[in-house]
Amino acid sequence: MPSWVSAGAIYFVTINAKARGTDALLRNGTAKRLIESAAFYHQTGAWWLHLLLIMPDHLHALFSPAPDRELAKTVMAWKSYQAKSLRIEWQAGFFDHRLRSDESLDEKANYIRMNPVRAGLVSRPEDWPHLWVAATW
């Protein structure tokens, strides 16, 4: 884990597909490609990705943007690339919440992992295949 992560903010981010209530992010290998792209951003240092979970019409992530990058610009560049390469229509903007010092990264990660269970898509979080977790976590 890069040294700037411990000093930097961790954000809980939600990005929605324009077509809610669909499987827009699961069709034709889209989830796999989204995960690969997010992992590439991680490997190149654009962000430190702690966790990414793809749902049928939205995604959740926990990440720290690189210290020389703004959160909004980083997310918008990633969304723009996905829109062009995967033809994903996203809702404008995204939701972000900076984890406060009293908030546990593990608690937020567990909340995200339970998303497919709460949606009735699987009975256990470990059964959901569209998840990426940092190897160091």
CATH of 3-133, picked from 3.30.300.30, 3.40.50.1100, 3.30.70.1290, 3.40.50.300, is 3.30.70.1290
Average pLDDT over residues 114-130: 97
Are the beta carbons of 113 and 125 closer than 8 angstroms? yes
pLDDT of residue 5: 56
Confidence of residue 62 (pLDDT cuts 50, 70, 90): very high
Question: Domain residue spans in the chain?
Answer: 3-133
Distance CA 103, CA 58 (A): 23
Least trusted range by pLDDT, from 2-6, 36-40, 86-90:
2-6
* pLDDT digits 0-9 by tens, 29-54: 999 999 999 999 999 999 999 999 99
Q: What is the mean pLDDT of residues 86-98?
A: 94
